[in-house]
Structure 1
């Protein structure tokens, strides 16, 4: 679906004429051509229309993203869905097939690393991964000063903790938590950081290791709103806190 088609669909759902849709933003003639795909729309104008009518931004971009992906991007998205399904259903043979397809992609390096680590972890053979591969993954975080602003890097860090030494893990987590204590950020980003703290605490618990950021991670989770999906992370915090009191 193109942006024009998505705008048309949203306008119809709202029961608006083209004139009412864009009044105070752009002229109706220009907008009419946008809906028909005859003219482009600027990012500024698009956001003004979306925000004016309280259109769900995430839902809107999910409608149009496939039209702007490259062939390889589309393939990567399909493989992500297949991998997720295979993991949830413990389909190990399928996982190996999908892994080979993922490794054949020309780009999407972070997706490749995440999949390799996830499958190795599932099969309990992380120790069999080459030191070279582990070093390549860890080096990515040393090379990028602002890795904590990159969603792909955050996902990689969350998924690949088991290949870090505890010293490395604490160093990067400290960077991350210091950064997000100083900034205001979205609920989605709050949840990403919560997942990382959750994984870090579970990792320290399972490995019986006293990481230097345990209290910082607990404090982060404690400050989350006690609503909806954040409750899960707060329950983990309580469980780990009780464990720490017991040792």
Structure 2
């Protein structure tokens, strides 16, 4: 979908006229040429139109991927999403199939390492990943002084909780919370990625040592403080579940998990420790 097509689609969804959509930014005639593919639109004007009409920028650009993202990047994203789905649903066969494709058809080292760890986790072979592989993951992470801002590095760290030394995880999580506390504005998409990391860290920590430390407290607080929207509801529920676990309210936590699974809510929930 082109920028013009996406603008037209959103305009129709909002029930706006072309004049109302572009008012105060570009003329109706220019807007008409843009949506019909006869003229390009400056980045400044595009952003102004999106902000003026309260259009979700992430959703808007998601519509543009098939047109403006390279084929190789689109393919990598497809493989990433497939591997994530396999992990969330504990589908070992699917994960192994995606790993084979990732190893042979992409050169993305981050994606390859994440896929290797995911399959090792699903097949209970984490201990069989050799020291050379683990060192390569640590080296990759260490090459980013601010990995919380790099999406690929953030995703790799998220998955690597399964193989990193305990002290490495705790130090990096401590730095993570310090950095986000000093970040003025965090986008909705990054908030979600950070929420996923908090949930994964809490699961990792509970399995390693089910006692509350500063990182656990900060992770629980981060999830609790997320906006009460449908978009973040799963993560807030995850925070409540782990809050019960770390406070030794085991029966309550088990009931939460059982109720969610009974409702067909399996994404992430299947990976909860109890």
Asked whether the two chains share a fold, i.e. TM above 0.5, the reply is yes
Contact 2:196–2:235 under 8 Å retained in 1: no
Q: CA deviation at 1:88?
A: 4.9
- Given the alignment of the two structures, is residue 50 of structure 1 paired with residue 50 of structure 2, yes or no? yes
> Who is 2:198 aligned against?
197
> Who is 1:242 aligned against?
247
Deviations 1:172-199 (A, max 9, x none): 1121111011223244433433332332
Cα 1:94–1:15, aligned 2, differ >3 Å: closer, same or farther? Answer: closer
* 1:144 partner SS: coil
Q: CA deviation at 1:78?
A: 2.5
> Who is 1:217 aligned against?
216
* 2:55 partner SS: coil
Cα 1:39–1:108, aligned 2, differ >3 Å: closer, same or farther? Answer: farther
Cα 1:11–1:197, aligned 2, differ >3 Å: closer, same or farther? Answer: closer
Gaps of 5+ in 1: none
Q: CA deviation at 1:145?
A: 0.9
Contact 2:206–2:246 under 8 Å retained in 1: no
Q: CA deviation at 1:209?
A: 7.3
Gaps of 5+ in 2: 250-274
Cα 1:200–1:95, aligned 2, differ >3 Å: closer, same or farther? Answer: closer
* 2:54 partner SS: coil
Corresponding residue pairs, total: 242
Cα 1:123–1:154, aligned 2, differ >3 Å: closer, same or farther? Answer: same
What RMSD over aligned residues (CA atoms) do the two structures have, in Å? 2.5
Q: CA deviation at 1:73?
A: 1.6
Correspondence 1:1-247 to 2 at 5 A:
1-88=1-88, 90-184=90-184, 185-208=186-209, 214-222=213-221, 224-225=224-225, 227=228, 228-243=233-248
2-structure distance, mates of 1:86, 1:237:
23
2-structure distance, mates of 1:88, 1:166:
23
2-structure distance, mates of 1:190, 1:81:
18
> TM-score, normalization: structure 2?
0.78
2-structure distance, mates of 1:199, 1:214:
16
Point out the more displaced range, 153-162 or 107-116.
107-116
1-structure distance, mates of 2:198, 2:89:
26
Q: CA deviation at 1:61?
A: 1.6
1-structure distance, mates of 2:239, 2:89:
27
Contact 2:18–2:32 under 8 Å retained in 1: yes
> TM-score, normalization: structure 1?
0.85
